[in-house]
Structure 1
């Protein structure tokens, strides 16, 4: 089973490498992924900059390398980190959006140590310094009064991994205190208006995932200190998996929220990444934790099976559907991705978007990890 999912993840990697991987402006020793395939000239020139998509492209490369390390994979990781720095023009920190920067810090932090890499150290410091003194959490972007989970979730994971567990707990506790709906799902965020706080109750798959991830990292640290407070975060992770199974998955366990392309193309893949973390890392010997691990593994495997069975193949390599319960469509150049109010909208045929294909790759890497754990 492990070999099957590993092979499928390899094919997803090969498809993105073949169709999307390019040097930045022809500069040797660089690599980024063009945002659409078939691609336009503007895509090939990285005319529009999709910072957080590239962070997830890097994260997928790290998944593949940790699963099976090769010199070629390690070289491409180095080239991608350099490509992001060059295309961002002034290092990694120049970006108004704290969610974008947190995603990159998470990916790079899996590969490098901030104590040894000044670029990562500067990026982490930039994110810490962005915490709002009034609310105690991060805004979505600079000079903004919108505080959301897609920013504070990955930032909390980053902070916990970097040893700033108290601050990670503050961000995570704020989310659980303010942004859990009646179904037990994590809502998008909260805007501070003149008349007071205003909820943004939209449910995004990746919000569930990052809060699972934050709870896991915090619980690990607290358990290492023999603190009973760890069980609060273990319980929260279990409750989120239950809510996802009830409200965001089909009876067969397939993640079935329709996210289309653009930024939304990444949302289910991110949730699958952290479901795999729960399946393989959730602490506890109780029947509750055992059941949660099995649920998380079932959702990942069922979703990956559906994704794979509904792919189309072009030149022997897969193209994945944006919606995992539907057949994939052959992408075309009909309409390319565009940006509105800070969000990237998808192509007319979402399968064209890098985000959708990265999400498929993420899911298959998650399935490979679950299979390796033999759950």
Structure 2
């Protein structure tokens, strides 16, 4: 079973790298993932490139290299980090969206851990740039520079980053703010709070990735607080929060069989379910199995990931022996174009026919899910 999921994750990795990976503007020793397959000219030239999609591509490369370290995998990670910097005109901080920068900071932090290196200067610069953006009134992070929208897709990753850095007080403040203000009647995490002339307005949609980052942040906090004799009781708070959100996801976002069933489409939404299962896998592997409530939550997290991965795999298409994943994990994948039948009209054709599976984001979610399943399978005793 373990080898089967490793093999499937390998095929997902190969599919993304063969179809999407290329040097930035033909510059040696750089790499990025083209935003769609088959790509338009603007995508081939990285005019349309999506900073935060590349952060998740980097995360997936790190997943694969963590699973089976090879020289070529580590080299591609280094080239991708270089590629992001080159395409962002020499700086990781040149971006007005704090959520974008936070996704990259998390991925770069994982890369430095993989290589066993001291935290590089560029990561410290990026993290400090993010931390300088905290809102002085609310003490949480805005979605982007000059914005009065404070959302979970920014503050969840911020809490994860802060917890990993050891800034537990600030991480706790953010998570407490989310649970005080942004949990709906079903126990799911809502999107955020927008400050308006009429006062705070709750933005109510409950996206899968909002659940994922809050689960991830609660786990990071709980694990660190448990290791501090003066804070072990506080860890119980975040374990309870984590368990509640995992149970809500099972009840509200999955089928009775455990398949994550949430329509996220293409574009940025294509990544939302992948981010959720990344952090569900964290729970399945890292949550301490020291009481009945935790054991039950670990089983739920594992079931959600493995059932979703099986469904995704069963509904894939194959092109040249490599998978194309569906945006809907319960439906058959659609071919991004009439493969092998087009010539120079291909670019015009894909402009007319909008197929979600064409987007890198959708395919990355599939890869993330298979890496999550491989991680859980490898952890089985």
TM-score bracket relative to the smaller structure: over 0.9
**In the TM superposition, what are the counterparts of 1:107-146 in structure 2 within 5 Å?**
107-112=107-112, 116-146=119-149
In structure 2, C-alpha distance between the alignment counterparts of 1:22 and 1:111, rounded to whole Å: 20
Aligned-CA RMSD value: 1.3
SS of equivalent residue, structure 2 residue 334: coil
Q: How many residues of Structure 1 are paired with residues of Structure 2 in the alignment?
A: 366
Give the alignment partner of residue 199 of structure 2, picking from 196, 200, 207: 196
**Which residue of structure 1 aligns with residue 151 of structure 2?**
148
**Which residue of structure 2 aligns with residue 246 of structure 1?**
251
Following superposition, the deviation at residue 120 of structure 1 comes to: 0.4
After superposition, give the CA deviation of every residue in 1:19-67 in whole Å (9 maximum; x if it has no partner): 0000000000000000000111111100123000000000000000000
Deviates more, 1:223-232 or 1:244-253: 223-232
**In the TM superposition, what are the counterparts of 1:67-86 in structure 2 within 5 Å?**
67-86=67-86
- Structure 1's unaligned 5+ residue stretches are 338-346
Q: TM-score, normalised by structure 2?
A: 0.94
In structure 1, C-alpha distance between the alignment counterparts of 2:296 and 2:224, rounded to whole Å: 23
**In the TM superposition, what are the counterparts of 1:1-375 in structure 2 within 5 Å?**
1-112=1-112, 116-226=119-229, 227-332=232-337, 334-335=349-350, 348-374=354-380
In structure 2, C-alpha distance between the alignment counterparts of 1:354 and 1:121, rounded to whole Å: 28
In structure 2, C-alpha distance between the alignment counterparts of 1:274 and 1:116, rounded to whole Å: 23
Q: TM-score, normalised by structure 1?
A: 0.96
In structure 2, C-alpha distance between the alignment counterparts of 1:236 and 1:247, rounded to whole Å: 16
In structure 1, C-alpha distance between the alignment counterparts of 2:234 and 2:271, rounded to whole Å: 32
Contact 1:321–1:356, Cα closer than 8 Å, also in 2: yes
- Structure 2's unaligned 5+ residue stretches are 338-346
SS of equivalent residue, structure 2 residue 205: strand
**Which residue of structure 2 aligns with residue 341 of structure 1?**
none
SS of equivalent residue, structure 1 residue 229: helix
In structure 1, C-alpha distance between the alignment counterparts of 2:124 and 2:96, rounded to whole Å: 18
Contact 2:34–2:49, Cα closer than 8 Å, also in 1: no
Following superposition, the deviation at residue 90 of structure 1 comes to: 3.3
SS of equivalent residue, structure 1 residue 260: coil
After superposition, give the CA deviation of every residue in 1:82-124 in whole Å (9 maximum; x if it has no partner): 0000000131011000000000000000111695311000000
Following superposition, the deviation at residue 374 of structure 1 comes to: 1.5
SS of equivalent residue, structure 1 residue 191: strand
Contact 2:35–2:49, Cα closer than 8 Å, also in 1: no
Deviates more, 1:226-235 or 1:21-30: 226-235
In structure 2, C-alpha distance between the alignment counterparts of 1:100 and 1:365, rounded to whole Å: 22
After superposition, give the CA deviation of every residue in 1:247-295 in whole Å (9 maximum; x if it has no partner): 0000100001010110000000000000000111112411111010000
